[in-house]
Structure 1
Amino acid sequence: MQLSKKYSYCCLILLVALTAFTACQKESDYYLDSGLANPYFKGNVVDYLNAKPFFFDSVATIVKLSGMEDIFKSDSITFFAPTDHSIQTLINYTNSALYQSGYDTIRTLQDVPAEIWRKYLSVYLFHGLNQLKDYPQIDYNLLINYPGQAYYSWDMQPMNIGVVYGDDNGVKYVGYRQLSISYIPNVSTPMQGWVTSYVASCNILTDNGVVHVLNDGHTYFGFYPSKFMQDVMAVFASSGK
């Protein structure tokens, strides 16, 4: 009887371990290119953001403050979703510059005018429904051969989007595939000065859009914190704050 219990206990441990391993494998696959996880979300893009407040509470607030909420609810869109982490680091960066220049700091997201939020939110937003398979390959060490592709974001900011093909056991381009997006600061020199971020989870399919979630390496919301800071400082200066 004791041997039977011990055997059953060992089998239970093995089953739990195998289940955990399988779950990790699935999560890892989805983390990079949607893999085996269920990509479907019942609801629009705003519903998706609201369903995950730990990651997107501030992002959802900015969608509303920017006046773009109806677009996120009903238009056919592709959204490279930044996380709240990137917004917090942007606010910290901006507030440090404002304080040093003698201006009031940003206390709430509502302190930033709607047009500024729209300007920086819209760089993540694109017309149409585009999944990983719809984007070309990019190799940042060999852009002449695999350059990705330039796209205009919702409000016509030039961006580059491409899929990085990973290596596997020394064989190039046969491993995992990971989406990346780059901010192009100067259209007159479109291959220079890119600010690049990578996607953690891609191909999340909502009722009206495709969401690709950026990883934590995306440090600053809007890609270019100095430009955001200058825009905010100009508004605060003109209003006497």
Structure 2
Amino acid sequence: MRNNFLKRTHVRHVIAILIVALILQACNKEESPFVDFDNSSASYDGDALSYLQSKPGVYDSMLLVINRLPGIADSIRNGNYTIFATSNRSYAIALQNINNARRDSVPALPPVSFSTMEQYILDSFFCKYIIGGRITTDDLAARADGLQFPCMKYGYTMHTQFEVTNASGFLGGGPKAIFFSDTRKSVFTYNWIRVYTNTVDIKTDNAIVHVLDVGHNFGFGNDFINALNRHAETEE
């Protein structure tokens, strides 16, 4: 009888220890909501252009534009930049919107592609996605209101703002993100066109790459469409 009592007591102690351990583990997870999430792809052994080329089916349209614009490929391969990478879907969304607007114009305008649209206009909007210097989320984290940076050409500035998103019921417990904005040369944020990043801080040999949301409309919408259409109308 005594042996049975001791065995039962031992089992109770073991169960109690396990319960305490589980409670402590749960508490630790709740107290540290930030440690389990990382949406950074760390580093890539090569230059920024090689990084884009290493993702077939993702950046094909971006690479088509890069190869079409004079000097851009060399700059991305060798220059000291921060690149906001745009996926194939971003270009598909933009092209559909562009050609819908051209079809509905009076008179209607012929459709275009990224291989045929006016080079200067394409260059001026593409360069918005490449800003000088290597800028990481750590560089932006201390400035709650964000920072403006010049694009690689044309003297145009873009706004970048660090944000930690919400997840799993925790305020600010989600992934790091950058709010990337075309200010449209306005000081009023309601005039800005903004997009979140999906992945941040990809370090290549010469640049930092941040990946924009796949639903982003390349060119930031109507300004790009209007620039292309105005050019087409003046040619007629």
Q: What is the match of residue 61 of structure 1?
A: 64
The 1:73/1:59 distance shift into structure 2, 3 A limit, reads same
- Tell me, in whole angstroms, the C-alpha distance in 2 between the residues paired with 1:238 and 1:166: 45
Equivalence map 1:74-85=2 (5 Å): 74-85=78-89
The 1:113/1:169 distance shift into structure 2, 3 A limit, reads closer
TM-score (norm 2): 0.75
Structure 1 runs not aligned, ≥5 long: 1-27, 139-145
The 1:239/1:128 distance shift into structure 2, 3 A limit, reads same
**Cα pair 1:137 1:165 within 8 Å, conserved:** no
TM-superposed CA distance for 1:52, in Å, is 0.9
- Name which one, 1 or 2, has greater alpha-carbon Rg: 2
Structure 2 runs not aligned, ≥5 long: 1-35
- Tell me, in whole angstroms, the C-alpha distance in 2 between the residues paired with 1:226 and 1:119: 14
**Cα pair 1:164 1:179 within 8 Å, conserved:** yes
Q: What is the match of residue 25 of structure 1?
A: none
TM-superposed CA distance for 1:179, in Å, is 1.8
TM-superposed CA distance for 1:42, in Å, is 2.1
For 2:218, what is the secondary structure of its paired residue? Answer: coil
1:103 to 2:109 alignment: yes
| Residues 110-119 or 190-199, more deviating | 190-199
TM-score (norm 1): 0.74
Q: What is the match of residue 112 of structure 1?
A: 117
Percent identical among aligned pairs is 21
- Tell me, in whole angstroms, the C-alpha distance in 2 between the residues paired with 1:149 and 1:131: 12
- Tell me, in whole angstroms, the C-alpha distance in 2 between the residues paired with 1:217 and 1:181: 14
Q: Which residue type is aligned with residue 54 of structure 2?
A: A
**Cα pair 1:150 1:161 within 8 Å, conserved:** yes
For 1:202, what is the secondary structure of its paired residue? Answer: strand
> Which of 13, 37, 44 is the matching residue for 1:29?
37
Q: What is the match of residue 44 of structure 2?
A: 41
1:128 to 2:128 alignment: no
Q: What is the match of residue 152 of structure 1?
A: 150
Say how many residue pairs are matched: 197
TM-superposed CA distance for 1:173, in Å, is 4.2
TM-superposed CA distance for 1:90, in Å, is 0.7
- Tell me, in whole angstroms, the C-alpha distance in 2 between the residues paired with 1:69 and 1:226: 26
Q: After TM superposition, which residue ranges in structure 1, 4 or more long, deviate above 3 angstroms? A: 166-176
For 2:160, what is the secondary structure of its paired residue? Answer: strand
For 2:57, what is the secondary structure of its paired residue? Answer: helix
1:162 to 2:161 alignment: yes
- Tell me, in whole angstroms, the C-alpha distance in 2 between the residues paired with 1:192 and 1:66: 32
Q: What is the match of residue 22 of structure 1?
A: none
> Which of 209, 217, 222 is the matching residue for 1:226?
222
- Tell me, in whole angstroms, the C-alpha distance in 2 between the residues paired with 1:160 and 1:169: 29
Q: Which residue type is aligned with residue 229 of structure 2?
A: M
TM-superposed CA distance for 1:172, in Å, is 4.8
TM-superposed CA distance for 1:49, in Å, is 1.2
